[in-house]
Amino acid sequence: MNKKTRYIAIAGIMGSGKSTAARILAEKLNFYLIKEKPSKNPFLKPFYKNMPRWALHVQLSYLMNKIKELERERHNFATRNVIEDAPIDVSFEVYAKTQVKFGNMTKGELEVYRQIFTSYKHLIPQPDLLIVMDTPIDLIIRQIEMRGRSYENGVDPKYLKTLISFQNQWLQSYPDNKKLIVKRNYINLRKTLDKNIFADTVMKKLL
């Protein structure tokens, strides 16, 4: 990737506000935005109805869609400043591991998933900065309800807490100079002032 370009990835579990944060930064910093596209995953709605039946399907579909998308965006990574809604690492480090914890995937299935993930990971650009939305559970639940995806209604808070736990484990080994943790209980991304402070903080971290 051209050293003059910058690549920011935004991580956070479902309902954490990462997509909102990505849109704000893309607008404020004039970055090209790679959006997350849950509608592209045909197994997502069935997954929330029967997690053990569809967990491996939903994970593999997400992973392969992401790989194909990043391949299509290769030129933009090389020529533009890019912000991505959810880095590919989250699929394995957070979501796939959570499926095993809940008994939705076996350890053997996770190992197959890991092998596919690692076989492609070295081909994908690594972020100059990882921004992580650290969002309280009560706010996550409210935001899930507000966005109105019926298939997400009634998601188990224990499931959300487990996602957060694996996210925190992943972050422990992530370089401090390459990550920015955003405490959502101290910042309201609906307020103009907070949006500006958020964008300024990100720019300073990139310098």
Q: Which residues are catalytic?
A: 85
Of the candidates 129, 133, 95, the one whose C-alpha atom is nearest the C-alpha of residue 12 is 133
Paired sense of beta strands 7-11 and 32-34, if any: unpaired
CB neighbour class for 101 (10 Å; exposed up to 12, middle 13-18, buried from 19): middle
Helices within 41-147 (DSSP H only): 44-49, 51-72, 74-79, 89-90, 97-101, 107-121, 137-147
Known binding residue 19? Answer is yes
Give the span between the Cα atoms of 183 and 188, in whole angstroms: 10
Known binding residue 20? Answer is yes
Known binding residue 17? Answer is yes
Q: Look up residue 30 and give its two tokens.
A: 């004039």
Q: Look up residue 12 and give its two tokens.
A: 């956070």
Give the span between the Cα atoms of 170 and 164, in whole angstroms: 10
| Number of other residues whose CB lies within 10 A of the CB of residue 127 | 20
191 Cβ neighbours under 8 A, 6+ residues apart: none
Give the span between the Cα atoms of 144 and 150, in whole angstroms: 9
Known binding residue 15? Answer is yes
Q: Indicate the residue type of 187.
A: I
Known binding residue 14? Answer is yes
Which residues carry a binding-site annotation for ATP? Answer: 12-20
Which residues carry a binding-site annotation? Answer: 12-20
